[in-house]
Amino acid sequence: MGNLCGLLSPEPVKSARPTSSSKARPPSPPSVIASLSNRWSKLRSSSSSSRKDNRSIQEQALAAAIILQHRRQNGKSTPVDRSSSLRYTSPSGPKKQGLPRSCSSRARSVTDPLLQPHQLLNQDVKLDELETNHLVLVHGGGFGAWCWYKTIALLEEAGFKVMPIDLTGSGFNSFDTSEVTSISQYVKPLTDHLEKLANDEKVILVGHDFGGTCISYAMELFPSKITKAVFIAAAMLRNGQSTLDMWSQQAASNDLMQKAQIFLYANGKDQPPTAIDLDKSFLSDLLFNQSPAKDVALAAVSMRPIPFKPVLEKLSLSDVNYGSVRRFYIETPEDNAISVELQDNMIKLNPPERVFRLKGADHSPFFSKPQALHKLLVEISKIHPLDQVLEKDGLG
Q: What angle do CA 219, 220, 224 make, to 5 degrees?
A: 60
Active site residue 270: no
Using an 8 Å Cβ cutoff, are 156 and 180 in contact? no
Strand order in the sheet with 226-232: 161-165, 134-138, 203-208, 226-232, 326-331, 354-357
Active site residue 209: yes
Q: What angle do CA 69, 218, 100 make, to 5 degrees?
A: 100
Amino acid identity of residue 119, one-letter, is Q
Q: What angle do CA 59, 63, 64 make, to 5 degrees?
A: 115
Catalytic residue among 70, 139, 363, 374: 363
Catalytic residue among 81, 112, 176, 335: 335
Q: What is the Cα–Cα distance from 91 to 369, expressed in whole angstroms?
A: 16
Q: Give the pairing type, strands 161-165 and 354-357.
A: unpaired
SS (H, E, C) 268-302: CCCCCCCEEEECHHHHHHHHCCCCCHHHHHHHHHH
Catalytic residue among 112, 166, 176, 209: 209
Using an 8 Å Cβ cutoff, are 22 and 327 in contact? no
Active site residue 53: no
Strand extents, DSSP E, the chain: 134-138, 161-165, 203-208, 226-232, 261-264, 275-278, 306-307, 326-331, 354-357
Residues with active-site annotation:
209, 335, 363
